[in-house]
């Protein structure tokens, strides 16, 4: 079955330190991968995506993610965390063969807490 | 995203009541989706629509129905609300025909069923 796993419910980081939020996927074919961020009382905001090309993709707010096909991973990273990065982060993969419907499968989410 | 709006933003209702959540978008996208979010479960798809003539059930459609009144409007109804439908509900849109495979989300509706 197609799925996305975010193995950590919560990640704690000190401000200024690098952060990593992990995501692994299980889909057939070539994956289309996405990261979203959700701030309190807000909808999901798109951060970045991998469709094809360079394995390192850059997105909004200084975030980047690395696609690793052999490890079926798409970890979200940032070199220097800010307290304002504290939020809920979701990894998602496009459902293969969903054709024009463009359905996404979401992970359970990882709460990032950046401490001053 | 201000291009996708949802009303109401918060709603408290009683068991057995019928309730409608509305979604409007100005992005001009054909594909629209309804999700619910529960803590620890991520987002689960309730219904999705390719256009006004096409409505499809998602993984958790029982107890819900939808109406696509126009390209820009997609409403979700709970025919007879029950407490385990208490959740955060999101509408989303996408336009893969433009190479934009990401989905764009509204601000959400927090629904409480007592």
Q: What residues of A are in contact with residue B46 (Cβ under 8 Å)?
A: none
Interface membership of A30 toward B (CB under 8 Å): no
From first to last of its 114 residues, chain B has per-residue pLDDT tens of 469 999 999 999 999 999 999 999 999 999 999 999 998 888 999 999 998 999 999 999 999 999 999 999 999 999 999 999 999 999 999 988 877 899 999 999 999 999
**Ramachandran region, residue A99 (left: φ > 0; alpha: ψ -120 to 50; beta: rest):** left
Distance in Å from the first CA to the final CA of chain B: 29
What are the tens digits of pLDDT across the range A64-77?
Answer: 999 999 999 999 99
Residue in B1, B48, B101 closest to A43 by CB: B1
For residues A33 and A47, what is the distance between their CA atoms, to the nearest angstrom? 11
Nearest to B106 among A43, A90, A94 (CB): A43
Per DSSP bridges, beta strands A44-50 and A110-115 are: unpaired
Q: How many CB pairs under 8 A join A and B?
A: 57
- For B94, the closest of A9, A43, A102 (CB atoms) is A102
Q: What pLDDT is recorded for position B35? A: 98
């Amino acid at each position: 079955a197609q799925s996305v796993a975010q193995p950590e419910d919560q990640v704690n980081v000190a401000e200024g330190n690098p952060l990593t939020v992990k995501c692994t996927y299980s889909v057939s074919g070539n994956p289309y991968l996405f990261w979203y961020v959700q701030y309190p009382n807000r909808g999901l905001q798109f951060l970045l995506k991998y469709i094809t090309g360079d394995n390192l993709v850059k997105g909004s707010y200084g975030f980047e993610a690395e696609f690793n096909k052999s490890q079926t991973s798409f970890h979200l990273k940032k070199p220097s965390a800010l307290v304002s990065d504290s939020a809920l982060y979701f990894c998602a993969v496009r459902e293969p063969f969903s054709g024009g419907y463009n359905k996404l499968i979401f992970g359970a989410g990882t709460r990032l807490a950046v401490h001053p | 995203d201000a291009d996708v709006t949802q009303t109401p933003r918060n709603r408290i209702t009683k068991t057995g009541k019928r309730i409608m959540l509305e979604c409007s978008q100005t992005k001009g996208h054909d594909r629209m989706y309804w999700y619910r979010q529960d803590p620890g479960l991520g987002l689960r798809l309730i219904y999705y629509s390719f256009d006004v003539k096409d409505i499809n059930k998602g993984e958790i459609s029982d107890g819900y129905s939808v109406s696509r009144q126009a390209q820009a409007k997609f409403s979700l109804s709970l025919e007879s609300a029950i407490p385990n439908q208490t959740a955060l509900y999101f509408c989303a849109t996408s336009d893969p025909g433009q190479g934009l495979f990401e989905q764009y989300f509204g601000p959400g509706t927090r629904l409480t069923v007592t």
